């Protein structure tokens, strides 16, 4: 098997606040193969964005990478200087569409100026001449479905959908292999959302990109992700293929299960077999997960989901479940799912 494009091992990202250390990403491991989309999903505050910022080593202050390893094409990037990262990793190999980026475009810059700035900062390895830069800009603005004259427009002259296309073009035009998409459709209207999702999927095939696709919404992941990693309170709870998570058997971790049950389903054809009272055509009641995620300043012992889990037993509260393999590609950190003998007895 070829080495994955990205291999993250035991990643730790902590926020050193005045109140103490927040363990926002606490020992997370995952891989992304070339051309693959890994979906990263979980509630707000579970560490999704922190995880992504670690890959570019741009955590929001007072955050710092506190341990682990990030191999990009087999080479370690943790420990690289900022200058090195800027010249040889950020944007040229890994780029990111930040959450809400479309509303953070500098209002006094035209799209061309915005793109040129990105180029100046990051295209260090092979200095690009102006003609080549212009050519790349036109090519990528076209690839995201916009006419070339958009390059001369200011952000306020563009609609939400167009701005998001510009943000995607900026993320892509230095030709990275991995693009981190952080909630790229969240603030958009549903029709525009679907159009942007289609664009993201189309670009992936055309440019042979890999994505780390972050969202709080499992339904969106179902649409784009080959594999899904569910995070809870700074840790990975479950990883599985699209089919393993959304297929008939469904997820194995109670958190994923409950998150899926809290996700609305619109069409009758997508209700699972167990939905609704007998004979009804309506959707199953929308459920919710009682309680709130734990405080990561002082995370609980044992499984972090135990306090909200209807299946939690003594063992769950005292001992942290390891990531166990259920079948090829399907991993879960749950005592119940792995039928732990001690759990079953208690």
Subset of residues 158 to 217 that bind other proteins, contact rule: CB under 8 A: 159-162, 189-195, 197-198, 201-202, 216-217
Place of tokens 């892509």: 172
> Between residues 19 and 120, which has the closer beta carbon with respect to other proteins?
19
Question: Of these, 82, 84, 285, 298, which contacts other proteins (CB under 8 A)?
Answer: 285
Please report, for residues 38, 104, 137, 153, the alpha-carbon distance to residue 149 in angstroms, rounded to integers and kept in the order given.
Answer: 34, 21, 11, 7
Is residue 131 a contact partner of residue 117, using CB atoms and an 8 Å limit?
no
- Is 44 near other proteins (CB under 8 A)? yes
The whole-angstrom separation of Cα 25 and Cα 8 is: 12
Asked if residue 38 lies in contact with residue 32, where contact means CB atoms within 8 angstroms, the answer is yes
User: Minimum distance between the CB of residue 78 and other proteins, rounded to whole angstroms?
Assistant: 30
Query: Minimum Å distance from CB 289 to other proteins?
Result: 4
Considering only residues 290, 310, 328, 345, which one is a binding residue for other proteins as defined by CB under 8 A? 290
* Binding of residue 259 to other proteins (CB under 8 A): yes
Number of Cβ within a 10 Å radius of residue 299: 17
**Which CB atom, from 261 or from 340, has the smaller least distance to other proteins?**
261
CA–chain centroid gap for 220, Å, is 11
Of the candidates 301, 234, 320, 256, the residue with the CA atom closest to the CA atom of residue 11: 234
Among 5, 7, 37, 63, which residue interacts with other proteins (rule: CB under 8 A)? Answer: 37
Query: How many positions of this chain bind other proteins (CB under 8 A)?
Result: 55
Name the residue nearer to other proteins (CB basis): 148 or 262: 262
Q: From CA 212, how far away is CA 147, in angstroms rounded? A: 28
Interface with other proteins includes 153 (CB under 8 A)?
A: no
User: Binding string, 215-254, against other proteins, x = CB under 8 A?
Assistant: -xxxxxxxxxxx---------------xx-xxx-------
* 65 vs 271: CA distance, rounded Å: 42
Q: Give the residue, chosen from 11, 70, 133, 260, that forms a contact with other proteins under the rule CB under 8 A.
A: 260
Walk across the sheet containing 94-97 and list its strands: 94-97, 178-182, 210-215, 37-41, 227-232, 235-241, 330-332, 324-327
* Contact pick of 292, 297, 325, 341 for other proteins (by CB under 8 A): 292
Rule CB under 8 A: which residues touch other proteins? Answer: 37, 43-44, 159-162, 189-195, 197-198, 201-202, 216-226, 242-243, 245-247, 258-260, 262-268, 270, 281-283, 285-290, 292
């Amino acid at each position: 098997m070829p080495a994955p494009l990205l291999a993250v091992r035991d990643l730790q990202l902590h926020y050193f606040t005045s109140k103490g250390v927040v363990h926002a990403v606490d020992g997370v491991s995952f891989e992304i193969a070339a051309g693959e989309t890994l979906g990263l999903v979980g509630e707000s505050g579970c560490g999704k964005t922190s995880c992504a910022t670690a890959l570019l080593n741009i955590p929001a202050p007072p955050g710092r990478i506190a341990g682990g390893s990030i191999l990009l094409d087999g080479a370690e990037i943790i420990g690289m200087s900022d200058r090195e990262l800027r010249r040889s990793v950020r944007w040229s190999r890994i780029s990111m569409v930040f959450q809400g980026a479309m509303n953070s475009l500098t209002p006094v810059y035209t799209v061309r100026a915005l793109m040129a700035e990105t180029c100046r900062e990051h295209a260090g390895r092979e200095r690009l001449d102006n003609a080549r830069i212009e050519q790349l800009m036109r090519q990528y603005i076209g690839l995201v479905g916009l006419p070339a004259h958009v390059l001369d427009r200011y952000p306020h002259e563009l609609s939400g959908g167009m701005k998001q296309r510009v943000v995607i073009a900026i993320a892509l035009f230095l030709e990275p292999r991995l693009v981190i998409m952080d909630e790229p459709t969240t603030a958009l209207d549903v029709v525009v959302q679907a159009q942007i999702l289609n664009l993201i999927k189309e670009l992936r095939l055309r440019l042979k990109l890999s994505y780390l696709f972050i969202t709080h919404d499992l339904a969106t992941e179902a649409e784009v992700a080959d594999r899904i990693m569910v995070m809870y309170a700074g840790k990975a709870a479950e990883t599985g293929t699209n089919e393993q998570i959304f297929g008939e058997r469904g997820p194995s971790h109670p958190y994923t299960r409950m998150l899926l049950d809290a996700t609305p389903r619109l069409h009758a054809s997508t209700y699972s077999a167990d939905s609704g009272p007998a004979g009804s055509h309506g959707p199953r009641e929308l459920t919710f997960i009682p309680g709130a995620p734990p405080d990561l300043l002082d995370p609980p012992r044992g499984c972090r989901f135990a306090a909200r889990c209807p299946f939690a037993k003594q063992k769950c509260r005292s001992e942290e479940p390891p990531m166990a393999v259920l079948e090829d590609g399907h991993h879960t950190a749950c005592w119940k799912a792995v039928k732990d003998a001690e759990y079953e007895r208690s």
